[in-house]
Chain A
Amino acid sequence: MAEPVNRRRAVLRVIGPMAARLGGAVFVLWAVASITFFAVRLIPGDPAQAVLGGPGSQASPEALALVRNEYGFDQSVLVQYLAQLGRLATGDLGRSYALNQDVGPLVLGQLGGTVLLAALALVVAWLLALALAAWSTRGGLVAARVGSGLEIVAAALPHFWLATSLIVVFSIWLGVLPPISTGGATGLVLPVLTLAVPLAGFLGQVLRESLLTALESPFVLSARARGESERGVLWTHALRHASLPAISLSGWAFGSLISGAIVVETIFARPGLGRTLLNAVTLRDVPVVIGVVMIVAVAYILMTLLTDAASRLVDPRLRLA
């Protein structure tokens, strides 16, 4: 008799946290949609004008009435909000006011470019941070000073300034890389670097701190005593320990990369979610703003799950908990 109870418990133990996570995710999405809806509607501006060729349009009374009726702008904000939520609940992101397009395909079409940019930037940032941390923790006092200096400077670089400087150096002076994203792989280099360098600064700071702590821990001492090489100590023991905080930081970093994409996509004239969002906010294109923000929220949630899983993989203690 005890067995089914145990199995049920085991199932509950798996499903319980998953259900909690799912509930949390739904709550986050609802909150994101609601806050975005009211935030965009609270700032001045008539959404009907977005439909009619932008703010200040001199649309005829007939055209205006037609649009207000078709999009429901003549109804109360509460009714519009509930209608919007209802559509979202059925997975319908609605139709863009300004672009004459359904938001779902529009946002998904722009998703690939931004995810590619953010993912590459994350990888490059990790590689840069790892290389810098590995070098600066083993290269003596000077290396440590230089390493931490570089990290602070990199972390403080604004995307806007970095992008412009990279364009001046690599496109205008050296003429080796295009200043705008033209579709090829070379067009990705500067945007990825712009996003990766400041992030590498952040990751590097965290990584180096914990690496230093780990290298002085008893388990490293015992590994050394067992006769492990310095390289083995660093890469298999210390780094595994030290990377945990940086991995949890990556979830946050992904979100910051998406917001950085607004600047980077505008400067490098790259298609993507960031540019779509910027245009949509300017035009008060509520469905597109909500659509982009929802997609980013989903990406954020997925990324948090992924970093969770990655932490478990690296740290066996978490697997048991």
Chain B
Amino acid sequence: MRRPAPTRRLLAATTGIVALGLLVAGCTPTDPNEPVGEPRNGGTLTYASGDAEPSCLDPHVGGNFPQALVSAQYLESLVSRDDAGQIIPWLAESWTPSDDGLTWDFTLRGDVTFTDGTAFDAAAVQANIAHLQDPTTLSSTGYLALGKVASATAVSPTVVRFTLTEPDSALLESLSQPWLAMESPAALERSQDENCASPVGTGPFIVQSWVKQNAITLVRNDDYVSPPADAGHAGPAYLDEVIWRFIPDSASRYAALQSGEVDVIDNAQPDTIVQAEQSDSIEHLDSPRPGAANRVELNSGRAPFNDVRVREAFIRSANVDDAVSSLFQGTATRSYSALSSVEATAVSNAALFDYDPSAAAKLLDAAGWNESDAEGYRVKDGVRLSVEFPVSTNQSIPAEQSVFEQIQATAKETGFEVKLAPMDLSSWYAALASNDYDAVSAPYTKVGPDVLRILYHSDSIVPAPSGYFANLAQVSDPEIDALLTTAARTTDAAERNSLYADAQNRILEGFYILPLYDQQNHFLLRSNVVGLRTLPTVAVPTLYDAWLNR
């Protein structure tokens, strides 16, 4: 169909103006990040991580975020997730669950080899699942994610069958995580020390050397063929080499980026992000982590927060919005959800979290906390309304600790005595294990809404042998349990989503948690680093598409 002439002329003019605009933008020296031309091969990129140096480069062992960050450069998973939250093919081309949801057949790519020459096939997947489930591997994250997997067996060279003990609607999301990545079975045969120092995968880079406390050197895998379905290009990576360093101090990390000593840094803090946004030579990449939003959890298992009115009063008395906007200087968005905003299933309800001190005061009156002592704190039966709040200085960044101080100050006006106790990680876990807390904030990263089951199902109040338990709000509600258990078995997407929505509403309306913001995950990079993105699974950066425009 022909368009009328005036529209066509307008279209042509608009196209011209847009093209001119793009051209000008591309030529302006103040905006060097606008890539002109094709990606260039070669060069060494230096990445500086603020996370702790892993003690083992194989993320099967233990399984924490620092391992995920670096291993995403050399290991790959069976599936991945795209920006919309859909599971997409990676090392597995396709998958089919049985009608009862108890067997899953994965069809694998047939053209992939590990960088030690071992073929990637069904037997390799079988060996990896066995490695993760072997107690001597000392896996925790991967082991937990495979809780419902009885076995994985090679049916043919390209088909592997997972047999489950009960239906698991989170299986694909679990398998997309870097802690369940595929490693060469020949390499896994070596001693754990050897495999920790140089794990072998199918990824775009190869671990060449690791000088502890200094750097990990990764080199390009020239035979690479297996990018995830949402990657920016095909074939080997552009970069020749990646130097992966650890700079624990935030200010030195940013100084190293400013001076060009390093090209990318993670764990950027609000003050440096604000500085970087005024710089022409540094770009900011904000990529919230999936799973739970950062939140203050109220211990409903003991007084005073075993009373829903006191929980609501605390939440209404805390002025979180102002604290977040001033202390995070606009780098974090307030959350009103149990889940991260990157989860498509997240339910948000801002009305439940309005700052309303007079409503809070009435709720406390109604709950019997209607007297005040000399210092202005509420009292009931001679007991002061105190909130023990242990704070992990390892997990809560300085800005977050300041938010807690603001919560402390505003809740005081209503009559809560919030006792913030900063402590190191081991002491903090010990305080939680001894149930010596009323409020606490603990991050939890996991792909998909199944994190709700881990955090709010009453089963998670029972401590693991290590003393760890995930349900820190100590939510014990048969209805929430039922919703979460059913959702975890329901593979129909629409039905599953509606079950998770119901569960979230009930959690939010029970005032068990005070959501703060997504789990912050900010990267800063030199403007001449082009094409860097994070994997939409657990938001770790991938350097596969990255190239240096210099």
Contact = CB atoms under 8 A, between A and B. Distances in A.
A276 B259 contact: no
A178 B140 CA distance: 39
Contacts of A43: 426-427
A52 B140 contact: yes
Interface string A270-288: 0110011001001110000
A52 B56 contact: no
B252 interface: yes
B251 interface: yes
A49 B432 CA distance: 15
A100 B214 CA distance: 17
Interface string A44-84: 11101101111111111111111100000000000000000
Interface string B122-141: 00000000000001111111
B256 A179 contact: yes
Contact of A167 (B55, B213, B251): B251
Nearest to B192: A100
B198 interface: no
Contacts of A183: 214
Interface stretch (A6-14, A26-34, A202-210, A261-269): A261-269
A59 B466 contact: yes
Interface string B243-258: 0011111011101101
Contacts of B256: 171, 178-180, 269
Contact of A44 (B214, B262, B427): B427
A289 to B, nearest CB: 13
Nearest to B467: A46
Contacts of B466: 46, 48-49, 52, 57-59, 64
Interface residues of B, number: 54
A269 B249 contact: yes
B247 A61 contact: no
A55 B139 CA distance: 14
A183 B261 CA distance: 12
Interface stretch (B11-19, B58-66, B319-327, B512-520): B58-66
Contacts of B213: 110, 271-272, 275-276
A171 B61 contact: no
Contact of B140 (A60, A99, A164): A60
B464 interface: yes
Nearest to A66: B135
Contacts of B48: 180, 269
Given A44-B426, A180-B252, A57 B468 contact: yes
Nearest to B260: A175
A178 B138 contact: no
Contacts of B253: 269
Interface in B203-222: 211-214
Given A45-B429, A271-B214, A282-B424, A59 B249 contact: no
A60 B196 contact: no
B382 interface: no
B430 interface: yes
A171 B56 contact: no
B430 A178 contact: no
A256 interface: no
Nearest to B197: A100
Contacts of A109: 212
A99 B55 contact: yes
A44 B465 contact: no
20 contacts: A43-B427, A49-B429, A51-B138, A53-B138, A53-B141, A54-B64, A55-B428, A58-B141, A58-B466, A62-B135, A63-B138, A63-B143, A99-B212, A100-B56, A109-B212, A171-B256, A172-B259, A179-B255, A180-B256, A282-B394
Given A178-B259, A180-B48, 6 more contacts: A46-B430, A49-B466, A55-B426, A109-B212, A266-B248, A269-B252
Interface of B: 48, 52-53, 55-56, 61-64, 135-141, 143-144, 192-193, 196, 211-214, 245-249, 251-253, 255-256, 258-259, 261-262, 394, 424-431, 464-468, 470
Shortest 7 CB-CB distances between A and B: which pairs?
A53-B62, A45-B426, A44-B430, A62-B135, A271-B213, A179-B255, A269-B247
